[in-house]
């Protein structure tokens, strides 16, 4: 169990504190929803969590097998929808895995892709959220 304490600071800003580490982050509502867009919005954090979770889960598998993923990047693009209510409708994900000496065989690629697609955040998002994922190998 992890506790996160969040304080509403006014003007659509919040400050959240991660219990175990005391790390803090702030949020702001996006410009298109009455905010100033001065920080991550709560839905931006969901998209960020998805990308970070996917590459972290890949990292767990890679470390278990002695494969390097250093330099791997994840780009996410969050799309909001308004019907039937405002929510995340789609998160496009591009995972770029750099080349390694000797290359990566099909077994490695399959294991890493499976890890990303079964990460806890991906599994936690509602099925109505579209999550197209593209892997770019030897990027």
Amino acid 119: pLDDT: 98
Residue 26 lies in domain: 4-33
HEC states along 28-56? ECCHHHCCCCCCCCHHHHHHHHHHHHHHH
The total domain count for the chain is: 2
> In terms of domains, do 16 and 71 share one?
no
> In terms of domains, do 28 and 54 share one?
no
> In terms of domains, do 28 and 56 share one?
no
Q: What's 60's domain CATH number?
A: 3.30.300.20
CA-CA distance, 96 to 98, in Å (whole number)? 6
Top pLDDT among 64 and 35 is at 64
> In terms of domains, do 67 and 120 share one?
yes
- Whether a cis peptide bond, with omega within 30° of 0, leads into 85 is no
> In terms of domains, do 21 and 67 share one?
no
| pLDDT tens figures, 9-39 | 999 999 999 999 999 999 999 999 998 999 9
Confidence of residue 84 (pLDDT cuts 50, 70, 90): confident
């Amino acid at each position: 169990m992890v506790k996160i304490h969040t304080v509403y600071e006014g003007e659509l800003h919040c400050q959240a504190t991660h219990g175990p580490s005391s790390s803090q982050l702030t949020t702001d509502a996006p410009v298109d929803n009455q905010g100033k867009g001065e920080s991550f919005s709560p839905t931006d954090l969901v998209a960020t969590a998805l990308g970070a979770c996917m590459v972290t889960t890949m990292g767990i598998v890679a470390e278990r097998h002695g494969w390097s993923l250093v330099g791997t990047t994840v780009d996410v693009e969050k799309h909001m929808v308004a019907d039937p209510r405002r929510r995340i409708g789609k998160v496009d994900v591009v995972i770029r895995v750099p080349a390694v000496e000797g290359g990566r065989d099909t077994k490695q690629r399959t294991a890493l892709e499976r890890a990303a697609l079964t990460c806890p955040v991906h599994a936690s998002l509602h099925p109505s959220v579209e999550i197209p994922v593209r892997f770019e190998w030897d990027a």
